[in-house]
Chain A
Amino acid sequence: MKRLTRDQIAARVARDIREGAYVNLGIGLPTLVANHLPKDREIFLHSENGLLGMGPAPAEGEEDPDLINAGKQPVTLLTGGCYFHHGDSFAMMRGGHLDVCVLGAFQVSVTGDLANWHTGGPDAIPAVGGAMDLAIGAKQVYVMMEHQTKSGESKIVERCTYPLTGIGCVNRIYTDLAVIDVTPQGLKVVECVDGLPFDELQRLTGVPLLHASEALPA
């Protein structure tokens, strides 16, 4: 069994984003997805600070401090892209206008609860940004994360122990080991990485998993 690299997880997420989708990529790991979006599809990237049609990072020397993404990094605007204020930007998110958002996570529960904003540590300074708005707003909420913590604990859990970002909001989980759907019946394994038997995935995951009954998506 070979675990996927972060870029390979990003490429796997990118495969599921269809032509014409309005998509927000959360800060951190999900931003990698942008590098893997199929070139033959028009996909609208939204950044919550106020732009749609976000393009790649500018060439060195071309950075514009007035044109940044939600991670405060310099970006570009694609032809046809536009700017708007924060009220409109979060109406797009909260109002269910985004097709997909991709978020990083500390933990996801069997019922799709998400914890990704705060470790809850006594010395941690909390910061939430738009995470809670994205979690409840997009039509499809994808989580992209390592399957296990560095110490080998499953990040897919019965109940989140970190402070919650949203309740029952995650639709699909992409990890370095598998793609898993959150369904009313439970967590359904859509794919495992090459050479990883279901039983081994189950052993590495903290909660019961279901076999996908339908054929794997292309």
Chain B
Amino acid sequence: MIDKTVPSLDAAVADVFDGATVMIGGFGAAGQPAELIDALIVQGAKDLTIVNNNAGNGEVGLAALLKARRVRKIICSFPRQVDSQVFDGLYRAGDIELELVPQGNLAERIRAAGAGIGAFFTPTGYGTQLAEGKETRIIDGRPYVLEYPIHADFALIKALKGDRWGNLVYRKTARNFGPIMASAAKCAIAQVSEVVPLGALDPETVITPGIFVQRVVQVAAPSGARAVA
């Protein structure tokens, strides 16, 4: 019997290794798998490359992982926010590397990794600082920039419900990066509010098919009900 559920958060992240590339879902606090991140902090892996839209809010979740100095590099689109003080301090001190990517290019580079695309030409960023040094091409009169996929060793994502085959459904705008990150990682780990029996999810409405998900861990009352900045 195939059972992708794991008994604990600690077990879910046990094999994350030093130097791993880890995608972390979420847009700000919405969809951020805070409990998986907390487990990763306890687990202790370091020199991580993190892929997220932001660079942490406040002092919890991704910000706490940064604060624990486990992150060598972050690939994101919008690090600077009113409550990104942890990142801001590390960046100004030269203690973290930043790869800034336009948000749609970030999403598509993740999607491309999951879809087996070797590289793609995108109009976003052409002629800007963020395309400096990159290959360009004019296609049908329009200029494009060549961008490469972002593959990950692990993805930590948050969903509403999952089953033992790894099928997932999400909640509202907390879906954001979850589905594409699940497909782009060798090992996608989903924390879900509820593990449901096979068949309980309407197959017409499954958002992430289980083939993209390796582990499911139940966190019945996830944080994230806190105020958003």
Give the B-binding residues of A (Cβ under 8 A).
Answer: 47-51, 63-68, 72-74, 77, 83-87, 89-90, 93-94, 118, 123, 125-133, 136-137, 163-167
Contacts and interface: CB of A to CB of B under 8 A. Distances in A.
A72 B31 CA distance: 12
Given A65-B29, A126-B80, A126-B100, A87 B224 contact: no
Contact of A66 (B78, B88, B102, B171): B171
A50 B122 contact: no
A122 to B, nearest CB: 11
B102 A133 contact: yes
Main secondary structure of the interface of A (DSSP, over half): loop
A166 B107 contact: no
Contacts of B77: 127-130
Interface-central residue, B78, B79, B171, by most chain A CB under 10 Å: B78
Given A90-B107, A93-B104, A136-B124, A68 B173 contact: yes
17 contacts: A48-B103, A49-B176, A50-B27, A65-B226, A72-B29, A74-B228, A83-B173, A85-B207, A86-B107, A86-B110, A86-B180, A87-B179, A127-B78, A128-B130, A130-B77, A130-B102, A136-B123
B103 to A, nearest CB: 4
B215 interface: no
B173 A50 contact: yes
Given A65-B228, A66-B172, A85-B180, A128 B100 contact: yes
A218 to B, nearest CB: 34
A84 B172 contact: no
B207 to A, nearest CB: 7
A85 B108 CA distance: 11
Interface residues of B, number: 54
Contacts of A126: 79-80, 98, 100
B126 A136 contact: yes
Nearest to A164: B128
Nearest to B143: A167
A66 B31 contact: yes
A197 to B, nearest CB: 36
Q: Which 9 A-B pairs have the closest CB atoms?
A: A90-B104, A133-B104, A86-B107, A127-B80, A132-B102, A167-B127, A87-B111, A66-B172, A66-B174
B229 interface: yes
Contacts of A72: 27-30, 81, 228-229
Nearest to A118: B129
Given A85-B180, A87-B111, A127-B100, 5 more contacts: A50-B27, A85-B175, A87-B110, A129-B103, A130-B77
Interface in B199-229: 207, 224-229
Given A66-B224, A132-B102, A166-B128, A50 B107 contact: no
Nearest to A54: B173
Contact of A125 (B28, B88, B175): B88
B178 interface: yes
Contacts of B28: 68, 72
A133 B78 CA distance: 13
A74 B227 CA distance: 9
A107 to B, nearest CB: 14
B228 A73 contact: yes
Contacts of A93: 104
A118 B87 CA distance: 18
A90 to B, nearest CB: 3
Interface-central residue, A72, A86, A126, by most chain B CB under 10 Å: A86
Contacts of B178: 85
B122 A163 contact: no
A96 B91 CA distance: 35
Interface string B97-133: 0101111110110110000000000111111111000
Contacts of B102: 128-133
Contact of B175 (A50, A64, A130): A50
